[in-house]
Chains A and B, each alone.
Chain A
Amino acid sequence: MKNLKILLVDDDLFLLAITEKSLEKAGYEIETSKTGEEAVCLISKYPFDVIITDLMLPGDMDGIDILEAAKAADSQTEVILITSYASVDTAVTAMKKGAADYLQKPVNFDELNLRLEKIRCMKSLVKDASDLREAMDITEDKASETIRNLEMMVFDLQNKLSEMEKKLRM
C-alpha cells in the first residue's frame, strides 16, 4: 500500500518546516499550507489521507473549519488537531465532530508517528475488507448467473418429465 498523503497546516513556519522534514523522512508524502483558506482550497483539489492542522489559525478559517471541509470532501480523511493547552475543550468538541486525534504543543514527533502508523494500519485493513468484498461480489455475481440458469433448466425438465409421465399413464 502506498504511503499516506498528508497535509500539514500551521501558521508557524518553523514548526511547519521541521514537521514536514520529520514526516518526509518517515516516508510520508507531504503538502503544506500556512493558512486555513489555502488548506481548504488544497482539500477541494486533492485527496489527502491525513490532515494535521493547528486548531488556531489566522484569518477566517481555523482548524475546525478545516476539519469540516475535509470530512465534507471525503469522510475517510483523518484529521489530527494540534492544540495548545488552553484549547483542550475545543479539541474535545472537535473530536466529537470527527477528528481522529489531538496532540498538544510542543508536538512530540515519536507520538505523531505512532498515531500516523495506527491510521495507516486501519486504512490498510479497510482496503483489505473492501477488496475482499469486491472479490466476493464478483464471485457471487458469476455463481448467481449459473444458478439462475440451472433453476430455469431444472424447472423446464421437471415440467417435461411430468408431461411424459402423464402421457405414459394414458
Chain B
Amino acid sequence: MIKIEPDEFNIIAKYIRSISGISLDQKKAYLIESRLKNLIKEFGCSSYWELYRKAKSDTGKSLETRIIDAITTNETLFFRDRWPFELLQHKILPDLIEMRAAKSSGAFPIRIWCAACSTGQEVYSIAMLLKESLPDLQKYDITLMGTDISATAIVQANSGIYNQFEIERGLTRDRVKRYFSPLGNNWKIRDDIRAMATFRTHNLMLPLYSSGMFDIVFCRNVSIYFNPENQKKLFYKIADVMGRDAYLIIGSTESVVGVCPRFEPGRYLRSFFYQLKN
C-alpha cells in the first residue's frame, strides 16, 4: 500500500472537503490510504497526487464520484438508536396530525426528508414505522425522501436489497418476515413499503431543489464529519427547507444550538429534537 505524503494529504483533504464537506485531519491519513488504495491501483496511479490530478481533470466527474463513494462511511442500520423512532411514533406524528387535522379535513401531507440516508435503512425504518403507527395510511399524502452523496449507496437504497448481515442489524425476525421477501441469499423490501420512498443523490453542501417544505428532517451522524464552518452551512440549509412547525432530528452526539441560532431544542423523554425559533 502506497503511503501518503503530508503535502499530498493536505491537497487531498482539501479536495475532499470541497467536493463533499467532509473534513479529515492529519490523524485520518490512514483512512485516505485504506479507502483510496483500490482506486490508485485501478487507475494506474503511482501516487495520491496523480490520483488527485486525474480526478480534477476528469470532466465527466466519474473518478470524483468514485472517490466520494470510497471515502464516505456508510455505517447504518435499521432503527438505529431506537429513540428517534420512538420520538417519531409517540410525539412527532401525533403532534403533527393533531395540528393538521384541526386546520383541514381530508388528506394532508406529511413530508419527511432523510438527509444522508446512506443505503436506505433509515428511510425504510421510517416507512415501516409509518405503516405500523398509522392504520389509515391512505388518509395521508406522505412524501418520504432519502438523499445521500454516495451514488453507490443510493443504488442499493433504491434496490431495497440487503444481505443477511445487514438484515440482522436492527430488525426483529417478525419485521423481516413482514416487510421483506427472500431473494437468493439476500432480502428485498416488499413493494408496498418500497413504494413509500424515493431516493436520489444529493450533496448537502449544495442547495436542495425541492418543491415545498419538509415537516420532518432526519440528519443523523453527518455533521460529525464536517468542520464547524460546514456544520453551520449544513444546518442553515436545512432550516431553509423546514416548515414552521417542522422537526429536525440529529445524531445523539451532535449539537445544533451553538452552531445555528435558527433552531431551538426540545425534549421528549430521552429523545431530543429541534424546531425553528419563532
* Residue positions of A touching B, CB distance < 8 A: 75, 96, 140-141, 143-144, 147-148, 150-152, 154-155, 158
Contact = CB atoms under 8 A, between A and B. Distances in A.
A143 B253 CA distance: 6
Interface string B237-276: 0000000000000001111111001001101000010000
B168 interface: yes
Nearest to A98: B185
Given A140-B252, A140-B253, A144-B253, A155 B264 contact: yes
A151 B265 contact: yes
Most buried by A among B253, B256, B265: B253
B265 A155 contact: yes
A141 B264 CA distance: 22
Contacts of B253: 140, 143-144, 147
Contacts of A151: 255-257, 265, 272
A144 B229 CA distance: 22
A120 B267 CA distance: 46
B265 A152 contact: yes
B211 interface: no
Contacts of B257: 151, 154-155, 158
B210 interface: no
21 contacts: A75-B164, A75-B168, A96-B185, A140-B253, A141-B252, A143-B252, A147-B252, A147-B253, A148-B252, A148-B267, A148-B272, A150-B255, A151-B256, A151-B265, A152-B265, A154-B258, A155-B257, A155-B264, A155-B265, A158-B257, A158-B261
B139 to A, nearest CB: 34
Contacts of B252: 140-141, 143-144, 147-148
Contact of A147 (B164, B185, B254, B264): B254
Interface in B59-100: none
A150 B272 CA distance: 12
Nearest to A158: B257
A33 to B, nearest CB: 27
Contacts of B254: 147
